[in-house]
Amino acid sequence: MTEATIFPQLEIPDTMAAGPGPGHTDPRILKRFAGAGMADHMQADVLRGMIECKLMLRTVMGTQNVHTFGVAGTGWSGLDCLFSAVMPGDKVVVFVNGTFSGIDGLTLRMKAATAEELAASPMDPQPASVTIMTVPHGQSVTVEIVEAALAEHKPKWAAMAHWETGSGRINDLRGFSDACVSHGVIGLVDAVSSLGVEDFRIDDFPGVHGWASCPQKGICCLPLTYAPVSFTDRYIANLRHTGCRTFVHHPILEARHWGIVDGKDVEKGIYHRTHSAYAVAAFHEALRITLQQTVAGRAKSYAFHEAALRDAVTAMGCKVTSNMTSLVVLNLPDRLAGREMELVQACRASGFGIWPTLSEPVQVRIGILNLLNQNAIGDIVNRFGTALNRMGAEIDMERINDRLEKHYQTMIAAE
């Protein structure tokens, strides 16, 4: 018999998570996570916590949709639930302008593929009923693109990422919603990167009937908790009619544990699957923090600090091509072009967690999720500038720091 290897306890260092996500979890959330008692998923306070989460989530998302709740896991868990109503042979148009909407497209191709189409290419099916509208990296999905595609293809479903984190681009949600309304299409939106970062209310977009987000970006709640989802009555009515092929991510069945039964709020959830008291307590605190800071307040703070970071990296000779406020996506100064991966790896090795783009062209992504203060932005700017200088960029960091300080003084004075 060979002896089992028991490895030493796993130590994970605290890094500066300055990427597209996950963002820094608030210490208050970690405290609730570790402080929750051992209680099963039908214990009264766990069930009450889930109901309170559901109610707070409706405010955070700006909705009266009864079917608003959390799906255990990350963004893809919520998106899997969101796309679950799409059945083989359904006509779908998906707008793709980067890595994440690309995976949304793959998910939808898997769901809409017939058995034959799936068997023909199991990992990358190409169903005849799905149209992928590809928008070049670095550009946004516009109302013109959506309008033309829906008019031409007349699908049952249309899907788009609100904020495409791969290229750092904001897509035209208003245009998407309007086009869905005018063509009678059921809109589905990946709001993984925008919820808790931008100030928007989902009920203001009547063409969108299903939404999915994640815990660890704008909601700042990594300790594997809940991906927020919300569905309109129309989505649910459609699902009641067609059914769908999942138990765990079934939007109607999964909602039961959150006290949503037969389209109504009930006092007490019904078992669907085991829920973690730790996760419920953490998610509850994350929503409380979001409401205390307000979505509008957070959105303002993101815009404020992103502008400072954008100005500093531009002054270093980088070219920013993104327009999200939680992330800058940039090209390096010309003399360092082509060395993006080397730079990112050097930064990551020193505990400064920035990212490359995951699809071509290779760019650098620096995020500020839950890093909304001048010290944190100053730290990011200095780590980034130092790394560039190690590669021979010869940036005068004193000048950059002066500029950053002035930027903050001016912005604060303008408040």
Ligand X SMILES: *Cc1c(COP(=O)(O)O)cnc(C)c1O
Of 92, 214, 313, 316, the one binding ligand X (CB under 6 A) is 214
Q: Which of positions 9-48 make contact with ligand X (CB under 6 A)?
A: 21
Stretch binding ligand X (CB under 6 A), from 190-198, 200-208, 370-378, 388-396: 190-198
Is 168 a residue that touches ligand X (CB under 6 A)?
no
Nearest Cα to Cα of residue 354 among 375, 324, 385: 385
Looking at the Cβ atoms of 46 and 135, the one nearer to ligand X is 135
Is 176 a residue that touches ligand X (CB under 6 A)?
no
The residue nearest ligand X at its CB is 75
Q: Which of positions 142-161 make contact with ligand X (CB under 6 A)?
A: 161
Stretch binding ligand X (CB under 6 A), from 5-13, 169-177, 188-196, 251-259: 188-196
Of 65, 84, 177, 193, the one binding ligand X (CB under 6 A) is 193
Looking at the Cβ atoms of 51 and 160, the one nearer to ligand X is 160
Looking at the Cβ atoms of 74 and 177, the one nearer to ligand X is 74
Looking at the Cβ atoms of 261 and 358, the one nearer to ligand X is 358
Is 192 a residue that touches ligand X (CB under 6 A)?
yes
Is 94 a residue that touches ligand X (CB under 6 A)?
no
Is 190 a residue that touches ligand X (CB under 6 A)?
yes
Q: Which of positions 51-80 make contact with ligand X (CB under 6 A)?
A: 74-76
CB of 162 to ligand X, least distance (A): 7
Looking at the Cβ atoms of 193 and 232, the one nearer to ligand X is 193
Applying CB under 6 A, the residues found at the interface with ligand X are 21, 74-76, 100, 161, 165, 190, 192-193, 214
